[in-house]
Amino acid sequence: MFLTIDAKDTRPIYRQIVDGVKTLIARGDLREGMALPSVRQVAGDLGVNLNTVAIAYRELHQEGFLTVRHGHGTVVSSRRSRRVEV
């Protein structure tokens, strides 16, 4: 997964992660059923706190972009399961 954090960006880091994952999904770089790296791995790769990544993953899950399978990791959800916000 190719995410970057911009220290000059006014958005919180968790929001940058959420927006970055949504962009990767929209571009087709992340497709339905693809596994995402663990929270620990993303935090280490980006040099951020584990809780920051966990908050981002939780928000993406609540919005229907990710499915959490305990013991099996986090995967991209199907488009049908996503909540549409107007």
pLDDT digits (tens, 9 = 90+) for 17-47: 999 999 999 999 999 999 999 999 999 999 9
Give mean pLDDT, residues 52-77: 94
CA angle 40, 60, 13 (to 5 degrees): 60
Q: Identify the pLDDT of residue 86.
A: 37
4 pLDDT band, cuts 50/70/90, is very high
Rounded mean pLDDT, 10-20: 98
Q: What is the pLDDT of residue 2?
A: 86
**Tokens describing residue 59:** 């928000």
pLDDT at 82: 55
- 3, 42 in Cβ contact below 8 A? yes
Token pair 């499915």 is at which residue? 67
**Pairing assessment for the beta strands 66-69 and 35-36 based on DSSP bridges:** unpaired
